[in-house]
Amino acid sequence: MNAIVTGASRGIGRGIAVELARTHKVLGTYVGNLEKAESLKSETGCEIFRCDISSAADREALIARAKELFPDGLDLLVNNAGIGQRERRDVLEATEESFDELISTNLKGPHFLTQLAARWMLENKRGRIVFVSSISSFTASVNRAEYCISKAGESMSRLLYAQRLAAEGIGVFEIQPGVIRTDMISKVEKLYEERIAGGLLPQKRMGEAEDIARVTRAIADGLLDYCTGQVIHADGGFHMRSL
């Protein structure tokens, strides 16, 4: 079994790569931190590959490398790589430069990487695809507009590919993590802990990378193969409405 995990050197992506490495040959991507990527390789045996997911040339190079490593085909693509904005600004003050950066990495990148991977999967008549998005795909944060918009778009990308590939036997899924303890939220982790203690989540704890990895495991093992197109809320119950 063969898998690509983007953004695998840290956070949720690392948790997913560690979990999948128990059963799959994993090719994990990274951008800036070679040391963390090499530690993943040392710990798990995963192959690593530098890939800026916003770059068409990098995406094509990634698939070319995967074809070298996996001559028998690709079983799983996990679109996990993503970034937050460099500076949180009110929607009335946010810049086009920030918008373009997040759309390129969080939406355009996984959308067109999935296009490449899906074409390859169709050749081998098998495969599963996962988009790791966010509760921000449906939750408005007025100081993180570009992030929310990029994740909302990623949700539609999942739906489009799920519809297109369903009859071909290729399942497409979206995992929407909630508040997960990673370096992306390190600056506001204390604030989130306080809000969780105050009732933000029905399950009164912050999520861990391993929580998302276990959902990915269920998809990778085929336990959800009759559920293509589904959104899986891995958010401690945040998505539930109550009065």
How many CB atoms neighbour CB 183 within 10 A?
Answer: 10
Measured CA to CA, the distance from residue 161 to residue 202 in angstroms comes to 32
**Is 147 in the active site?**
yes
Two structure tokens written together for 221: 């093992």
The alpha carbon dihedral of 207, 213, 218, 224 has a sign of positive
Q: Is 239 exposed, middle or buried (0-12, 13-18, 19+ CB in 10 A)?
A: middle
Kind and range of the H or E run holding 69: helix 56-69
Strand order in the sheet with 171-177: 47-50, 25-30, 2-5, 76-79, 128-132, 171-177, 231-234
Q: Which residue out of 147, 161, 192, 226 is catalytically annotated?
A: 147
The candidate with the shortest Cα–Cα distance to 108, out of 175, 61, 156, is: 156
For residue 46, the SS3 value is coil
The DSSP output letter for 166 is G
For residue 208, the SS3 value is coil
Catalytic residues: 147
